[in-house]
Amino acid sequence: QNESLSTAAKSAVFSPSSATPSVAVEFRQVSKSFGQHAVIRQVDLSIMTGEVVAVCGPSGSGKSTLIRLINRLETVSDGEILIDQQPTSALKGAALRQLRTHIGFVFQQFNLYAHLTAQDNVSLALIKVHGWKKKDARQKAQILLERVGLGDKVLHYPEQLSGGQQQRVAIARALVTDPSIILFDEPTSALDPEMIGEVLLVMQELAKSGITMIVVTHEMSFAREIADRVVFMDGGQILEQAEPEVFFTHPSHPRAQRFLQKVL
Ligand code: ADP
Ligand code: MG
């Protein structure tokens, strides 16, 4: 009994909720250009473990590029991005795969494989990248699909699913390697309005789970009700960062004010 007590005490000390919050993602003077076109300009940004950040701003402001840099779908032109305090710009091979295992990504256009069932879309990376047995990988996929409310759709193909269901499969897929960070690029923008709610609900549950979330979104209800912080971008720069309540009621940058007048 003594032993179980000391185990409980240890887990209280080391559990993420009681640990000192640490920086999960840090941009240090990050710039990104495509040819002559500077798309991200000397961005500094720190995101804490477990934080939920909504990134908003006009079309073309660099939001997608910003989050694609985090899991190295794009490489920085200058500066450094640290994940859990580790520099990432020089990673390649197995170390880069390890980084991507640690960071889930959900795209606007779902990007599911049409010839694979929901279950196989979710389990694929475990089998191909991590060498899991098919049976074990499918079992884990089943659990994740249940978590996003699709326990009865595991054997359905993407074309047999609605847009909202497909996006929930994509979220399950992004979670399959137990990432500690998950990135969303306008996850509801390709959906019919009546399907947005079911996806936001899954994201809301996820936000409570302690995972670090960075969400590019035009869904101001998400930003307002679920995010801990709103980051506003324009012209490849972060022009304002604030708690949602402050951002939506008293934006300080004129361009943020103009943006909000258009979207609200
Ligand atoms: P947002 O997501 O805010 O709409 P993006 O990050 O997609 O903005 O794009 C920012 C700018 O970078 C745009 O002008 C876009 O045309 C440009 N851009 C994005 N990706 C590429 C690319 N692969 N090659 C060239 N230009 C790009
Ligand atoms: Mg974009």
Q: pLDDT tens digits, residue range 121-142? A: 999 999 999 999 999 999 999 9
Q: pLDDT tens digits, residue range 189-203? A: 999 999 999 999 999
> In this predicted structure, what is the pLDDT of residue 264?
80
Model ipTM?
Answer: 0.98
Cα–Cα distance measured from residue 257 to residue 171, given in angstroms and rounded to the nearest whole number: 32
Amino acid present at 251: P
> In this predicted structure, what is the pLDDT of residue 19?
58
Asked if pLDDT for residue 4 goes beyond 70, the answer is no
Where does residue 228 rank: exposed (0-12), middle (13-18), buried (19+ CB within 10 A)? Answer: middle
Task: Give me the torsion for CA of 36, 42, 48, 51, rounded to 10°.
Answer: -50
Query: In the numeric block, which tokens belong to residue 140?
Result: 């884990």
Cα–Cα distance measured from residue 69 to residue 103, given in angstroms and rounded to the nearest whole number: 12
Q: What residue has token string 């936001």?
A: 200
Ligand 1 centre from 66 Cα, in Å?
10
SS3 252: coil
Amino acid present at 234: D
Of 111, 89, 113, whose CA–CA distance to 99 is shortest? 89
By mean pLDDT, which of 7-11, 97-101, 163-167, 204-208 is the weakest? Answer: 7-11
Ligand 2 centre from 140 Cα, in Å?
31
Cα–Cα distance measured from residue 233 to residue 61, given in angstroms and rounded to the nearest whole number: 6
* Mutation test residue for ligand 1: of 30, 34, 218, the one with most atoms within 8 Å of CB: 34
- Looking at the chain, the whole-number percentage of residues with pLDDT higher than 70 is 92
Asked if pLDDT for residue 3 goes beyond 60, the answer is no
Q: Where are the alpha helices (DSSP H) in 57-216?
A: 63-70, 93-102, 118-128, 134-147, 163-175, 193-208
Cα–Cα distance measured from residue 197 to residue 174, given in angstroms and rounded to the nearest whole number: 19
Q: pLDDT tens digits, residue range 234-258? A: 999 999 999 999 999 999 999 999 9
Q: pLDDT tens digits, residue range 37-73? A: 999 999 999 999 999 999 999 999 999 999 999 999 9
> In this predicted structure, what is the pLDDT of residue 21?
77
Ligand number nearest CA of 233 is: 1
State the average pLDDT over residues 162-179: 97
Cα–Cα distance measured from residue 107 to residue 87, given in angstroms and rounded to the nearest whole number: 25
- Angle, helices 193-208/163-175, rounded to nearest 10 degrees: 20
